[in-house]
């Protein structure tokens, strides 16, 4: 049974790629969405959600500022927390990384506590794992360490305040709208093929690819479904070599000059399955072939 058939969801980091897809699903259900973001950039929301995206409420602010988060969360029923800075930015300025990624997450839980929301759904990362083991968290980056700390704090909020939570750990999320950072490579390759351009995916070897709408569907399910406890679920898509990704793109666009080259990603490709289906059964799982086809179709304007 849905626990949020209407009401208002606060989406932090809503200008981003995954945020836009979550917003698309929530708006389709008639749920009011308020975004808290560091910038007023609605391009992706409009691209992914269409004209309905114009109805989104928009607040500008820094998630590391407690007062800002409290103001944005007032009147909301639940939080989808996505705001973060990624591995390179955390490496270059770990203090700022901790402020946004860890303090920002604590602020979201504190807002849930103040306003009696009861649950928080947030983005963790497969970055909690190291390069050699996708089963036992052992981050080797500041970004991964902050995400793992967020998971621990989520457990503490459950023990101390009975605030339930789900954190999701995808590895490489791809699909329409993913156009920046290293792991955008598979999506950028699809875009290049659709435009008749050449492109080299800037990393090689095995990785786990998950289609963006599968991640959005998991957030939607967690926002709408009753559950107890503090959970951190690894999200598996399809483990595949990046050379095979390039081949799958060429199968959709024969003759496309798409290839994969560069170093391995610093995260193990074979991720533990976890128990996500026990808490959130029936989640979709899009094959790489189908996801690539949908991404290419998007960039062709189909």
- Walk along the chain (302 residues) and give the pLDDT tens digit of each residue: 345 656 899 999 999 999 999 999 999 999 999 999 999 999 999 999 999 999 999 999 999 999 999 999 999 999 999 999 999 999 999 999 999 999 999 999 999 999 999 999 999 999 999 999 999 999 999 999 999 999 999 999 999 999 999 999 999 999 999 998 889 999 999 999 999 999 999 999 999 999 999 999 999 999 999 999 999 999 999 999 999 999 999 999 999 999 999 999 989 999 998 899 999 999 999 999 999 999 999 999 96
**Is 284 part of any domain?**
no
In degrees and rounded to multiples of 5, residue 164 shows phi and psi of -75, 155
Residue 34: the pLDDT is: 98
**Is 144 part of any domain?**
yes
- Give the global pTM: 0.96
Containing domain of residue 96, as a range? 8-172+211-236
**Is 224 part of any domain?**
yes
Q: Take residue 135 and report the two structure tokens written for it.
A: 């089963």
| Distance of alpha carbon 30 from alpha carbon 222, whole angstroms | 17
Domains contained in the chain, number: 1
**Is 168 part of any domain?**
yes
**Is 18 part of any domain?**
yes
- Please report, for the domain that includes residue 19, its CATH number: 3.40.50.720
Residue 1: the pLDDT is: 39
| Distance of alpha carbon 297 from alpha carbon 273, whole angstroms | 30
| Distance of alpha carbon 63 from alpha carbon 282, whole angstroms | 32
3-state secondary structure 169-182: ECCEEECCCCCCCH
Q: Take residue 293 and report the two structure tokens written for it.
A: 């086809």
**Is 89 part of any domain?**
yes
Helix, strand or coil, per DSSP, at residue 14: coil
**Is 166 part of any domain?**
yes
**Rounded to whole angstroms, what are the CA distances from 136 to 167, 219, 271, 273?**
16, 23, 9, 12
């Amino acid at each position: 049974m849905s626990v949020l058939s209407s009401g208002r969801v606060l989406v932090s980091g809503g200008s981003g790629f995954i945020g836009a897809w979550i917003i698309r699903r929530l708006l389709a259900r008639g749920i009011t969405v308020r975004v808290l973001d560091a910038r007023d950039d609605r391009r992706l929301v409009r691209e992914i959600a269409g004209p309905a995206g114009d109805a989104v409420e928009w607040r500008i602010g820094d998630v590391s500022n407690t007062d800002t988060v409290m103001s944005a969360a007032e009147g909301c029923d639940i939080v989808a927390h996505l705001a973060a800075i990624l591995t390179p930015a955390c490496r270059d300025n770990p203090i700022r990384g901790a402020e946004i990624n860890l303090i920002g997450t604590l602020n979201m839980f504190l807002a849930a506590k103040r306003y009696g929301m009861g649950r928080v759904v947030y983005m963790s990362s497969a970055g909690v794992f190291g390069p050699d083991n996708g089963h036992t968290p052992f981050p080797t980056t500041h970004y991964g360490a902050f995400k793992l700390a967020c998971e621990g704090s989520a457990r503490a909020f459950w023990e101390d305040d009975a605030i339930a939570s789900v954190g999701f750990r995808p590895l490489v999320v791809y699909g329409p709208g993913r156009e920046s950072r290293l792991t955008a490579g598979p999506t950028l390759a699809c875009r290049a093929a659709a435009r008749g351009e050449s492109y080299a995916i800037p990393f090689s070897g095995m990785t786990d690819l998950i289609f963006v709408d599968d991640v959005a569907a998991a957030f939607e399910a967690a926002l709408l479904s009753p559950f107890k406890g503090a959970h951190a679920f690894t999200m598996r898509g399809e483990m595949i070599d990046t050379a095979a990704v390039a081949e799958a793109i060429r199968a959709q666009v024969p003759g496309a000059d798409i290839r994969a080259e560069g170093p391995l990603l610093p995260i193990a490709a074979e991720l533990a399955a976890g128990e996500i289906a026990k808490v959130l059964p029936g989640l979709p799982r899009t094959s790489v072939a189908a996801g690539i086809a949908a991404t290419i179709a998007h960039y062709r304007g189909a």
